[in-house]
């Protein structure tokens, strides 16, 4: 059977004559003025090879990447229609073409092309390490990588910080044969710096990440990962989630993003914000790609993609958190579209509610915990680097000494961890974290049990503090474009034309089944909209 990649090869065999020169993105003339990068993307190691990238390869991948999966790219490599080197060069070419505007990357891996060639040589010798062999992956830049790449978390203070070793998840990706393409932009220090309209994906190191769909917002903090995948500047990416920081940008950039069950992926080597919540997770254009990436990232021997079936929702009871979702203006037509697709996939829908909890207090206790994480976990990591910045007050003073360079988008949120009636000690923070985790888990469990639901349906990051704090898995799948409204509108941001996604929440440890449900929804709905970049 011919793959879609093979069909595209046949269709273009007699029509491709020459590559068009790289064009500036049509939106580059917009009025938005980004801040300068503190480190320019360096294409020097790739220039000679980029000049030899064939028109046929460019045209093939222009047509293929918006629709093919990693599995189909692998089949193309098996059949000799594609190589990892050509795929990596193609993505580098797109990065050079689009990323000065989109700012999805902070740094490129100077060895990316060497890694791709090594993957091709291994394939030719019969040594294929798995489904990610030769596939280019980007990494959110709060995930440690050994030199020569830096790990900055977007902060000027960490501009020259080089970790001693790869984070375990990066080591696993390398062992799986993945090509590390570069480090993705993010909300600085995972979102603890800036408030307001530029809070999503803005960093001193890279500037403001822009949405490739032409919308004004990207969400945070894994904005560079999600926007880069949506813009086809990476095949897949690894982001991180503390509370909505992977699900939100994935939803708002029209891609699939998953926060796995807590500790399913080793979180060591991630610049922390709140260690008890922080979790790396996969981002891709399809559920299949996310399943394959998670397989290479996790600590279990599970083949997630093998369990993806179009009828996985048939007869499944879905608990719909409609009351909370419909509190947000503009969500009603989206919820209607989501439930229609679920019914078409054979699901049984039941309304469920989360109780109003005095313990949750409108999020205030979680806010106190997050503040403690920033002071104890994040600043503990920074202090360990010996840079002379050992407290939140030190960090504020350092940034304010050169505000245009070190905090170009403001730093309103840096003051918040010192606010409030009391600063939590480590013991108090640990006790609060345990109490909130127990409460969040019990609350979600009650929702599951009330209607014997196997999965819960939410929208965007409406319930992120619950599933993230409980350590339960969640995945967002594209639901098309907004006509308006949504959480972004409540924040005073324009939301018309912004992609959105449903969020499916599973029980802790139920990641494989959650992926299967997401795949069945994706197949039934077909609501993904590709970013229209040349």
- The tens digit of pLDDT for each residue in 189-198 reads 999 888 765 6
Residue ranges per domain, the chain?
37-307, 317-359+437-525
Query: Cα separation of 235 and 229, whole Å?
Result: 6
CA distances from 106 to 92, 141, 448 (A): 13, 8, 41
Question: Which pLDDT band holds residue 215 (cuts at 50, 70, 90)?
Answer: confident
Query: Cα separation of 342 and 339, whole Å?
Result: 5
Conformation bin of residue 42: beta by default, left when phi > 0, alpha when psi is -120 to 50: beta
Residue 363 pLDDT: 55
- The tens digit of pLDDT for each residue in 496-513 reads 999 999 999 999 999 999
- Are 290 and 256 in contact by the 8 Å Cβ rule? The answer is yes
- The tens digit of pLDDT for each residue in 246-278 reads 999 999 999 999 999 999 999 999 999 999 999
- Are 437 and 470 in contact by the 8 Å Cβ rule? The answer is yes
Query: Cα separation of 53 and 167, whole Å?
Result: 32
Helix segments in 19-78, DSSP class H: 47-51, 55-64, 70-78
Residue 5 pLDDT: 57
Residue 127, pLDDT above cutoff 70:
yes
Distance linking the first and last C-alpha atoms of the chain: 30
Residue 108 pLDDT: 98
Nearest-10 Cα torsion for 326, 505, 354, 356: -90
- The 3-class secondary structure across 435-482, one letter per residue, is HHHHHHHHHHHHHHHHCCCCEEEEECCCCHHHHHHHCCCEEEEEEEEC
Residue 32 pLDDT: 75
Residue 10, pLDDT above cutoff 60:
no
Question: Which pLDDT band holds residue 418 (cuts at 50, 70, 90)?
Answer: low
In whole angstroms, how large is the CA radius of gyration of the chain? 22
**How many Cβ atoms are within 10 Å of 427's Cβ, its own excluded?**
8
Q: Where are the beta strands (DSSP E) in 316-459?
A: 317-320, 348-351, 455-459
Residue 181 pLDDT: 98
- The tens digit of pLDDT for each residue in 432-481 reads 999 999 999 999 999 999 999 999 999 999 999 999 999 999 999 999 99
Region 175-183: what's the mean pLDDT? 98
Residue 128 pLDDT: 97
Among the listed ranges 3-12, 58-67, 74-83, 152-161, which one has the minimum average pLDDT value? 3-12
Among the listed ranges 277-291, 412-426, 463-477, 520-534, which one has the minimum average pLDDT value? 412-426
DSSP letter for 425, please. P
| Mean pLDDT computed over every residue of the chain | 91
Residue 210, pLDDT above cutoff 90:
yes
Residue 1 pLDDT: 33
Region 358-365: what's the mean pLDDT? 63
Region 141-154: what's the mean pLDDT? 98
Largest CA distance in the chain: 72
Nearest to 359 by CA among 438, 426, 472: 438
The residue whose two tokens read 């997630």 is 304
**pTM of the shown model:** 0.94
The pair of three-digit structure tokens given for residue 146, joined into one six-digit string = 């050994």
Nearest to 455 by CA among 349, 332, 308, 333: 349
CATH T-level assignment (fold) for domain 37-307: Amidase signature (AS) enzymes (3.90.1300)
Q: Which residues are catalytic?
A: 140, 221, 245
Residue 423, pLDDT above cutoff 90:
no
**How many Cβ atoms are within 10 Å of 66's Cβ, its own excluded?**
14
DSSP letter for 163, please. B
DSSP letter for 298, please. B
Question: Which pLDDT band holds residue 358 (cuts at 50, 70, 90)?
Answer: low
């Amino acid at each position: 059977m011919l793959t879609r990649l093979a069909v595209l090869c046949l269709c273009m065999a007699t029509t491709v004559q020459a590559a068009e020169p790289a064009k500036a993105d049509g939106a580059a003339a917009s009025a938005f003025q980004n801040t300068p990068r503190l480190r320019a993307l360096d294409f020097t190691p790739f220039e000679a090879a980029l000049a030899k990238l064939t028109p046929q390869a460019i045209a093939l991948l222009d047509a293929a990447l918006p629709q093919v999966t990693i599995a189909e790219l692998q089949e193309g490599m098996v059949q000799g229609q594609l190589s990892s080197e050509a795929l990596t060069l193609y993505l580098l070419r797109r990065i050079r073409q689009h990323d000065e505007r989109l700012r999805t990357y902070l740094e490129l891996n100077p060895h990316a092309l060497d890694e791709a060639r090594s993957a091709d040589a291994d394939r030719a010798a019969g040594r294929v390490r798995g489904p990610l062999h030769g596939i280019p992956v980007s990494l959110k830049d709060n995930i440690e990588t050994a030199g020569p790449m830096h790990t900055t978390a977007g902060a000027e203070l960490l501009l020259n910080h080089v970790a001693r070793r790869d984070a375990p998840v990066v080591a696993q990706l390398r062992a799986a044969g993945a090509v590390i393409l570069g480090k993705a932009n993010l909300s600085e220090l995972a979102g603890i710096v800036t408030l307001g309209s530029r809070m999503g994906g803005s960093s001193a190191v890279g500037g403001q990440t822009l949405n490739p769909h032409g919308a004004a917002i990207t969400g945070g903090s894994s904005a560079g990962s999600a926007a880069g995948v949506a813009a086809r500047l990476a095949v897949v990416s690894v982001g991180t989630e503390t509370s909505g920081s992977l699900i939100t940008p994935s939803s708002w950039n029209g891609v699939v993003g998953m926060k796995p069950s807590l500790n399913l992926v080793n979180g060591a080597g991630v610049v922390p914000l709140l260690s008890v919540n922080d979790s790396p997770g996969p981002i891709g254009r399809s559920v299949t790609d996310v399943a394959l990436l998670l397989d290479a990232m996790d600590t279990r021997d599970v083949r997630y993609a093998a369990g993806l079936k179009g009828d996985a929702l048939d007869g499944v009871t879905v608990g719909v958190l409609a009351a909370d979702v419909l509190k947000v203006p503009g969500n009603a037509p989206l919820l209607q579209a989501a439930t229609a697709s679920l019914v078409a996939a054979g699901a049984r829908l039941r309304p469920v509610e989360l109780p109003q909890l005095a313990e949750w207090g409108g999020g205030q206790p979680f806010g106190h915990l997050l503040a403690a994480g920033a002071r104890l976990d994040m600043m503990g990591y920074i202090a360990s680097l010996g840079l002379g910045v050992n407290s939140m007050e030190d960090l504020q003073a350092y940034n304010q000494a050169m505000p245009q360079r070190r905090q170009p988008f403001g730093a309103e949120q840096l003051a918040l961890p010192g606010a409030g009636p009391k600063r939590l000690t480590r013991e108090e923070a640990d006790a609060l974290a345990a109490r909130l985790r127990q409460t969040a888990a019990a609350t979600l469990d009650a929702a599951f049990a009330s209607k014997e639901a196997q999965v819960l349906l939410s929208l965007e990051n409406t319930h992120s503090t619950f599933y993230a704090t409980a350590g339960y898995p969640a995945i967002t799948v594209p639901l098309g474009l907004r006509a308006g409204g949504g959480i972004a509108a409540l924040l005073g941001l324009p939301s018309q034309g912004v992609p959105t996604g449903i969020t499916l929440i599973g029980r802790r440890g139920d990641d494989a089944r959650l992926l299967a449900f997401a795949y069945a929804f994706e197949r039934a709905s077909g609501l993904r909209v590709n970013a229209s970049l040349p």
